[in-house]
């Protein structure tokens, strides 16, 4: 049986309004979105240009661009400044807008020898292995887990000597 024309038009109008509401929720205007966030130690290019290899020292670098984010693991003369700009997106994740690493290399006397810049394009993808390390004793089946504690404890809770537990569990362990 066909619906009357007015009811069919109202159903189509309602579906169209729901579709527009769903599409409107996809893209938020800029004034409703979160601002980009600077994470780490993002080095200003104008300040970095003031460091001159061969003449600048560790003290000069610290005074101009601050303390390094990290130092190389086996070389205390290599300083790393790691920074990125992120923006929160749907579901609490962060989209990386810009990423940079500045590497300063010093000689044994603390004089700057080199400046190297790396960006997100220089990064290498890393695959994460989802294996877990097995732990002994965690191989119990569902029934073993369910019935595992049956009979391990006394119903009375204490014996005549005043100790808690029972003959299978002396003391308060």
Provide the CB-side half-sphere exposure for 58 (13 A, CA). Answer: 14
The partner residues of 140 in beta bridges, in order of sequence, read none
In a domain, 114, yes or no: yes
In the chain, how long is the greatest CA-to-CA distance? 92
Question: How do residues 57-94 score in pLDDT, each as one tens digit?
Answer: 999 999 999 999 999 999 999 999 999 888 888 777 88
Question: How do residues 21-59 score in pLDDT, each as one tens digit?
Answer: 665 555 555 566 678 888 888 898 999 999 999 999 999
pLDDT of residue 120: 83
pLDDT above 90 covers what percent of the chain? 31
In a domain, 19, yes or no: no
In a domain, 141, yes or no: no
pLDDT above 80: residue 114: yes
**Total number of domains constituting the chain:** 1
Environment class of 103 (CB within 10 Å of its CB; exposed 0-12, middle 13-18, buried 19+) = middle
**99: how many CB neighbours lie within 10 A of its CB?**
19
Domain extent, residue 113, equals 28-121
pTM: predicted TM-score of the whole model, two decimal places: 0.55
In a domain, 18, yes or no: no
Phi, psi of 91, rounded to the nearest 5 degrees: 70, 20
In a domain, 74, yes or no: yes
111 and 54 in contact (C-beta within 8 Å)? yes
In a domain, 70, yes or no: yes
pLDDT above 60: residue 19: yes
114 and 104 in contact (C-beta within 8 Å)? yes
Identify the residue with better confidence: 131 or 153. Answer: 131
Residue 162 corresponds to which tokens in the numbers above?
């005043």
In a domain, 131, yes or no: no
In a domain, 76, yes or no: yes
CA distance 166 to 49: 76
Q: Whole-number mean pLDDT of the chain?
A: 79
pLDDT of residue 67: 92
């Amino acid at each position: 049986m066909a619906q009357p024309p007015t009811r069919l038009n109202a159903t189509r109008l309602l579906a169209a309004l729901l579709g527009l509401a769903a599409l409107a929720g996809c893209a938020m205007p800029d004034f409703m979105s979160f601002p980009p966030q600077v994470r780490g130690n993002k080095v200003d290019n104008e300040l970095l240009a003031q460091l001159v290899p061969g003449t600048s020292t560790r003290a000069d670098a610290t005074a101009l661009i601050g303390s390094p984010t990290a130092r190389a693991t086996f070389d205390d003369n290599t300083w790393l400044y790691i920074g990125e700009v992120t923006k929160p997106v749907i579901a609490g994740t962060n989209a990386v807008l810009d990423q940079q690493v500045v590497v300063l290399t010093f000689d044994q006397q603390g004089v700057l020898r080199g400046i190297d810049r790396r960006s997100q394009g220089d990064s290498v993808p890393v695959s994460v292995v989802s294996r877990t390390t097995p732990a002994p004793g965690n191989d119990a089946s569902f029934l073993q887990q369910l019935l595992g504690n049956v009979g391990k404890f006394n119903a009375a809770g204490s014996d005549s000597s005043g100790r808690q537990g029972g003959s299978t569990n002396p003391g308060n362990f």
